[in-house]
Amino acid sequence: MDVSTILSKIKAENIQYVDFRIVDLLGRQHHVTVPAYAVDENTFTNGVAFDGSSLTGYKSIEESDMVAMPDPATAFVDPFVTEKTLNIVCNILNPDYTPYARDPRGVALRAEAYLKELGIATAAYFGPEAEFFLFDNVRYASSPSGSFYHIDSEEAYWNTGKEGENLGYKVRNKGGYFPVQPTDTLADIRNEMCTLLTQAGLKVERHHHEVATAGQGEINFRFDTLTRTGDNLLLFKYIVRNVAAKYGKTATFMPKPIMGDNGSGMHVHQSLFNGDTPLFYEKGAYANLSDTALYYIGGILHHAPALVAFTNPSTNSYKRLVPGFEAPVNLVFSKGNRSAAIRIPVAAVTPKAARIEFRTPDSTANPYLAFSAMLMAGLDGIKRKLDPREMGFGPLDKNIYELSEVEKNEIRSLPGSLSEALNALELDHEFLLAGDVFTKDLIESWISHKRGEIQEVERTVNPKEYELYFDL
C-alpha cells in the first residue's frame, strides 16, 4: 500500500484515526494516534514527532526530540478499537531525518541492505513459530513484604480436584499436543485469532494446542523477508493478546511461565534466495543442503553463545534452556531431530522450501534485532566458509538425550544464563558490526540494560529461598 492508496482508503472507508506505531529497544510497541482528517501527504514526508527519552534504550531528556516516519506498506485496520482506525508501523529518525542507529527496525533494514551489498543473495526469509500460553488468571508481586506469582487456567492439570463446576478433561503435564475438544478448550479462540491475522494480511498456515498444560498454543504464519517478518511478529503478538483479552483471558509469550512443564520457544526457520532461486538446496547432499546452507549453519553455531544474548534475552529464557530436557541447548545440527539447536526439516520439503530451523530463540526477543543477528551470524559463516562438520557441530542424527555421558560431554552447549550470554556477546560481536548493521553503541546499551535486569532479579528475595534456608 502506498501513500495515495492509504489516503484514498481513509476517505473511502470512513477511517476516523490513524495509529502510528514504533518499537523500543526491548521490542515493546508504543503508539500515538492522530485524527484521520489531520493525516495527509506531509505526514508521510515530515513524520510524527515524539519524545525519545520516554522509551527504553533511546534518548536522554536533553536530546529527546525524535521523528516517527510511517512506512505505508505496513498499514492495516485495527480490529480492536471502537472508532475505525488504521495502524501504521514507523521507522525512527533523528530530528535531522537521518536514521536513528538504535532503531531496531532500522537495524533490520540495514541487515537486508548489507545482504544485497554482499551479492550473496537478494533476500533472507524468516518464519518464526511463537508459542504462547492463555491463562485465566495471573497475579504477581515483588515488594519488601513479600514476593509471589500465581497463575491459573481452566485446562490446568492441577485443577482436576477443584471444587464447584468442574467437568474434567484437564490437560496432563506434557500431554497437550493436538488433543481435540473438549480437552482443547481454546480452539474457538485460536480460530478467531487466525481470522483476524488473515484480515490483517498475514498468511496463516495452521494452529494447534501445544504440549504443556494450562493453555499452551501455537499459530504458524507464512514466512516473509526479514523486516516484514519482524513487523508480522509484532502484529501477531498484538492480535493474540487482544483476542485473549476479549475472551477474559491473558496471553503471555514468556519462555518459562510454568515450573515442571514445557516452556514456550520461538523456532525460527530461515533461508536465502537469489531472485527466485533457493540457495539452501542441493539435491542428494546431506538433508539436501547446499554448501551455502552449511556455511550459514556454521556461522550460527559458531556465534551462538553471543547470539543468544539477542535471541534469548531474558533471565526467564534460561529456565527454558536447561540441559537434559527437551530444550535445544546442544550446539549441533541434524535433519529432523528436535533435540538439536538447528534442525533441518525434511518432511514434504521442496527445493524452494529448503531451510534451516534454529530452535533456540524465544519470544522475549526483539524480532528485528534477533532476526538481524541471526542473519549476520549466518552471513559471517558463508563469508568465512565455516563448515559445521569440520567444527564439531555434527550432523548428529541420534537422540541426544540417550547418548552416553562421554558422548554428551563432546557436545558444546549454550550459555547457562543471560549473564554468560552477555559475556559472550562482549567477546564476540564484530560479526554484527559488518556493514554498520549493528553499532557498538547499540550493543553496549543492550548489554548495560540487560545487566540491570539481571541485578534486579538477583537482588529480589525468592520464595524458594524461604523453603531452602528459613530454618537453617
| Whether residue 205 lies in the annotated active site | no
Distance CA 271, CA 357 (A): 9
Helix (H, G, I), strand (E, B) or coil at 44: helix
Pairing assessment for the beta strands 85-93 and 17-23 based on DSSP bridges: parallel
Question: Annotated catalytic residue: which of 154, 357, 362, 380?
Answer: 357
Catalytic residue selected from 222, 338, 384, 389:
338
Our answer to whether residue 172 is catalytic in this structure is no
Whether residue 395 is preceded by a cis peptide bond, meaning omega within 30 degrees of 0, is yes
Residue 357 is among the residues annotated as catalytic for this protein: yes
Residues 6 or more apart whose Cβ sits within 8 Å of residue 180: none
**Residue pair 422/451 in contact by the 8 Å Cβ criterion:** yes
d(CA 219, CA 207): 4
- Structural Rg of the chain based on CA atoms: 23
Rounded Cα gap, residues 350 and 338, in angstroms: 20
CA 320 to chain CA centroid, nearest Å: 15
Give the length of the chain: 472
Note if 206 is an active site residue: no
Q: Are 134 and 251 in contact (CB under 8 A)?
A: yes
Could you tell me which of 443, 366, 453 has the C-alpha nearest to residue 102?
443
Given the residues 241, 267, 302, 320, the one annotated as active site: 267
* 154 noted as active-site residue: no
Residue 325: all three cell numbers together: 530436557
For the record, the C-alpha cell of 362 comes out as 524465544
Neighbours of 231 (CB within 10 A): 25
Record the cell numbers describing residue 15, joined without a space: 477511517
Place of cell 542473519: 375
Alpha-carbon gap, residue 213 to 5, rounded angstroms: 46
338 is known as an active-site residue: yes
Residue 99 DSSP symbol: B
- Residue 29 Ramachandran class (φ > 0 left, ψ -120 to 50 alpha, else beta): beta
Q: Give 188-248 as a DSSP string.
A: HHHHHHHHHHHHTT--EEEEEE-SSTTTEEEEEE--EEHHHHHHHHHHHHHHHHHHHHHTT
Q: Which of the following is catalytic: 155, 210, 224, 261? A: 210
Angle at 367 between CA 127 and CA 341, to 5 degrees: 60
Round to whole Å and give the CA distance between 403 and 233.
Answer: 36
Indicate if 458 belongs to the active site: no
**Annotated catalytic residue 218:** yes
Question: Which of 24, 129, 224, 362 is the catalytic position?
Answer: 129
Catalytic-role residue among 41, 51, 456, 458: 51
The question of whether 210 is a catalytic residue gets the answer yes
Name the burial class of residue 397, with classes exposed (0-12), middle (13-18) and buried (19+) by CB atoms within 10 angstroms of its CB. middle
- Residues designated as active site: 51, 129, 131, 210, 218, 267, 338, 357, 359
